[in-house]
Structure 1
């Protein structure tokens, strides 16, 4: 195993050191600090059992941040490292941490210039916690060491003892890959990260990570399951959720949407008889069933779609669209409201 660090005294940095260490990685964490972390690619610093009390840490590259005055150290491990843990405490469980550590005699009292993979030992306790990290130290794994664990007693149960604490970093403007822990703030407005399911963008004004894109890229749509019962007349009636499911959505930042309703409506009871297929909105935006959004037929049948534009909605608000129908009379032929589809499209 060789652990290399660029820009660390003495002045013996080789061209190979420079090629292997990630000197171009720089995701800001503040005005002067760099977000430390593992460089993604394969399975960096993978941990596997190497014996009852020994752990092998695989190759990888990372950035280790020291104090503000120290800056960040590019580090690479080009061959697996094997670490041996001390025996467990007599009574209590202990949590040790495996970490990348940089010693720099210009800033610490260790008296050496060295990059290492090492064990930071925890303290046995009835409620053990991982040890605090010294300066210029990047935690990779936590290892739970049971009371009395030793090579003679079966050692550490590696299948359950390892806690993955690798967090990832990226170059400036890059997307930070998912790693251990999502409880960190962005460093600047517009920073991106991968939460493991989707992308998130840091909103500095709100002080929060927000889904990106903020609205679905595709329209949301729902289809009518059963025809209107047409057992009431002269009033607008909500379809039940079972007969025609509702749509609940988050208003996009633009505050604007298109809503479309389409299907077949018919009423040939009399020359004045009508049938309507409509929708209403409730929640952060309200709108009633009616002529402003509905599809209708009078003394005949219509197959079509009505698409309307709505703006001025409150961004981030929750709105539910509920399909509805209206039959003015039901005493003749071809009286139905059926085959409906309700769709909401988001204006970016």
Structure 2
């Protein structure tokens, strides 16, 4: 069958519901790993599958719940430990240490050669070596802990130092749409756009386009500023004129995910040529967003000197677009000694 459902009566005119149907149907769906598979892991709550000292060569695994993914055909098995289980360790190798893994394992005779239908807590023994590696985990098996067994370890010589031997390998899972808790390392990709995980220090969101985890919400970039380096010639009257890039460098920025920025321009402007003479310091935008020089984004003076700044908010910009800001100037006349546009600073702040 290729279409499977839960909550059907067994038997009848059709095959009814099988245990396989129950595992494959989205019944209490956890974080997906692919179209028909589930991210295996421990279900958070309390301290599931805690490891505690049960003797010189014995380890106790506490209660907890988990989802164990088999092959794609098998589906995922919900598993619970309802009473602590004790795992015994054989003596260490005479020459080299080894790493054993404590796993939660499902045996299903329909898919393996075990002839069993049972879930167990099990020890997988690693190979002794100068630089030992943890054993490979088979299908339908969830690694919980790695245990380093020193060379020569035995109950007669003190056993395993449980304070240093344990490495926590419990990875966690969550309901679909939930935030996957930290644990088990961060070396895994997301499976759908917008999936969230907790790294232990921050929340990250899976960007399927970039195939990468990204901090969520994204940290807005720090403000970007550029300073006027030289006075303009002021040889054109009544027109908006761009500063040269040498006289005042431009700013090019990427529009943040909010589509919003705050732009500030400030400095000194003066024009005392006549009682109606004006001087302006402005900016214009080009690229993914355009805006011209003008009164909506400039600082001005009329028949006087002004030291000021102008701060404006712009929203609805195309997210991810490249925008360049170009400073500019405008004087209505230049017949006096007190005419200038100088000491400018242009700043872009990114709204999160």
TM-score by length of structure 1 reads: 0.68
Which residue is equivalent to 2:236?
A: none
Given that 1:105 and 1:111 are in contact with CA atoms closer than 8 Å, whether structure 2 keeps it comes out as yes
SS of the equivalent of 1:144 reads strand
Kindly indicate whether residue 225 of structure 2 is the aligned counterpart of residue 260 of structure 1.
no
Per the alignment, do residues 269 and 52 of structure 1 end up closer, same or farther by CA in structure 2, a change over 3 Å counting?
farther
Which residue is equivalent to 1:244?
A: none
In the alignment, the residues of structure 2 paired with residue 154 and residue 323 of structure 1 have an alpha-carbon distance, to the nearest angstrom, of 76
Which residue is equivalent to 2:203?
A: 199
For 1:1-348, what aligned pairs fall within 5 Å after superposition? 24-214=28-218, 216=220, 233-234=231-232, 251-253=255-257, 256-261=259-264, 265=268, 295-297=299-301, 299-307=304-312, 309=314, 315=320, 342-346=347-351
Task: Report deviation, 1:205.
Answer: 3.6
In the alignment, the residues of structure 2 paired with residue 205 and residue 165 of structure 1 have an alpha-carbon distance, to the nearest angstrom, of 30
Given that 1:59 and 1:79 are in contact with CA atoms closer than 8 Å, whether structure 2 keeps it comes out as yes
Larger radius of gyration: 2
SS of the equivalent of 2:55 reads coil
Given that 1:28 and 1:187 are in contact with CA atoms closer than 8 Å, whether structure 2 keeps it comes out as yes
Task: Report deviation, 1:248.
Answer: 10
In the alignment, the residues of structure 2 paired with residue 199 and residue 91 of structure 1 have an alpha-carbon distance, to the nearest angstrom, of 44
Q: Runs of 4 or more off by more than 4 Å in structure 1?
A: 219-224, 230-238, 247-250, 262-276, 278-281, 284-287, 290-294, 310-314, 319-325, 335-338, 340-343
Q: How many residues align?
A: 307
Q: Alignment RMSD, CA only?
A: 4.6
Task: Report deviation, 1:200.
Answer: 2.8
Given that 1:296 and 1:302 are in contact with CA atoms closer than 8 Å, whether structure 2 keeps it comes out as no
Q: Which runs of 5+ in 2 are unaligned?
A: 1-26, 234-242, 246-250
Per the alignment, do residues 39 and 261 of structure 1 end up closer, same or farther by CA in structure 2, a change over 3 Å counting?
same
Task: Report deviation, 1:62.
Answer: 0.3
Task: Report deviation, 1:30.
Answer: 1.6
1:115-154, CA deviations, whole angstroms, 9 ceiling, x for partnerless residues? 1112111111122111011221100111111111122222
Q: Which runs of 5+ in 1 are unaligned?
A: 1-22, 239-246
In the alignment, the residues of structure 1 paired with residue 218 and residue 169 of structure 2 have an alpha-carbon distance, to the nearest angstrom, of 29
Task: Report deviation, 1:174.
Answer: 1.9
Given that 2:44 and 2:172 are in contact with CA atoms closer than 8 Å, whether structure 1 keeps it comes out as yes
Task: Report deviation, 1:186.
Answer: 2.4
Per the alignment, do residues 44 and 231 of structure 1 end up closer, same or farther by CA in structure 2, a change over 3 Å counting?
closer
